Amino acid sequence: MKRRKRWLAIILLSAVAPLLVPWPVSAQPPDEEQKAEDVQKQAEEAQKALEIFLREQRVLFRRGEGTLELGLFYSLDTKETFLHSDTTTVFAKITKRTVLPSLTIRYGLVNDLELDIVLPFYGFAEQETNLGTARLRMRDQGLGDITGLVRYQVWHERGASPDVIVDVRGKSHTGGGFDSLLGTGDWSIGGGVTLVKTLDPVVFFGRLGYTYTLERAGIDRGNEIAFLSGMGFSLNDRVSVSMQVNGAYTEHAKLQGRTITGSSLESFSLQLGTTVQVTKRLFVEPTVSFGLTDDAADVVLGVTVVGIKLPF
């Protein structure tokens, strides 16, 4: 009888003991964890939307994320110069107009590493040379130069230190030969460093880069030192504005190894832009650029439609 009572006590104790031990407190039920992840994802997407105007400076997209951008640009450039020949020198006014659509693909290879490809569509350009007594016209149409670049963010903004992004880029001569109005006629490769610093609500950015031009058919167009400096901020959760100064110094060109006197270029321009969020993942960005030196285009008007795909 005592043995039976002992076994009964053991069975009852085994059944009740788990109820006496405190239950572990779960951080969050599965449904709440999923909701928290969704909220975080929405916050990240909203942050990307606010910073979409920085897509050419910052690495915005993680692995598998990206954008497709369709742009259309019109540029007008006028120059007054003297044209020399073997027997005479005449004053000429040269006017160049260009219409060039383009498709830009931005894709996150891995976190902090992004690939950008710029594919100019079938464009049109016209150049008119006014000699006073005669007018000469030259037209060109076709593809522009294809550009590809890889950007890597080596440091994220923390405290007083800014974002640090390095890039390597290359350009083809698909726009045509040296007499083309849509391309430069040569291959080039270069790189640069970009700094981005946030002083809420304003974001400041700047880049310094160098481009090496490959000689082709005995012609060397000259290497280039380029910089940009700008700022931007969000007016609200749907509209951002930005402005930047672009500058470039191109060394003297060479023909068959001989330097061409007076062929160096100094190009400075001021660009203003507004980025408007139309839908959750669709943006429209009109821009206007004014030339500040004779070597820069007088004015460039553009509009870009940006579509974000998450994931790509």
Nearest to 53 by CA among 155, 201, 173: 201
What is the number of other CB atoms lying within 10 angstroms of the CB of residue 76? 14
**For residues 272 and 48, what is the distance between their CA atoms, to the nearest angstrom?**
20
Alpha carbons 112 and 152: distance in angstroms, whole number = 6
Classify the phi-psi angles of 176: left when phi > 0, otherwise alpha if psi is within -120 to 50, otherwise beta.
Answer: left
| Cα gap 178→202, rounded to integer Å | 42
Domain boundaries, the chain: 52-309
pTM: 0.82
Structure tokens given for 307: 């579509």
CATH superfamily for 52-309 is Autotransporter beta-domain (2.40.128.130)
Q: What residue type is assigned to position 311 of the chain?
A: P
Contact indicator for 197, 230 with CB cutoff of 8 Å: no
Residue labelled with tokens 């992840």: 37
pLDDT per residue rounded down to tens, the chain (312 residues): 444 545 545 444 454 444 444 444 445 566 776 666 666 666 666 667 778 999 999 999 999 999 999 999 999 999 988 777 767 778 889 999 999 999 999 999 999 999 999 999 889 999 999 888 888 899 999 888 999 999 999 999 999 999 999 999 999 988 777 778 888 888 999 999 999 999 988 999 999 999 999 988 888 889 999 999 999 999 988 999 999 999 999 999 998 889 988 889 999 999 999 999 999 899 999 999 999 999 999 999 999 999 988 675
pLDDT given at position 135: 87
Cα–Cα distance between 300 and 277 in angstroms, integer?
A: 23
DSSP string covering 120-156, please? E-SEEEEEEEE-SS-EEEEEEEE----EEEEEEEEE-
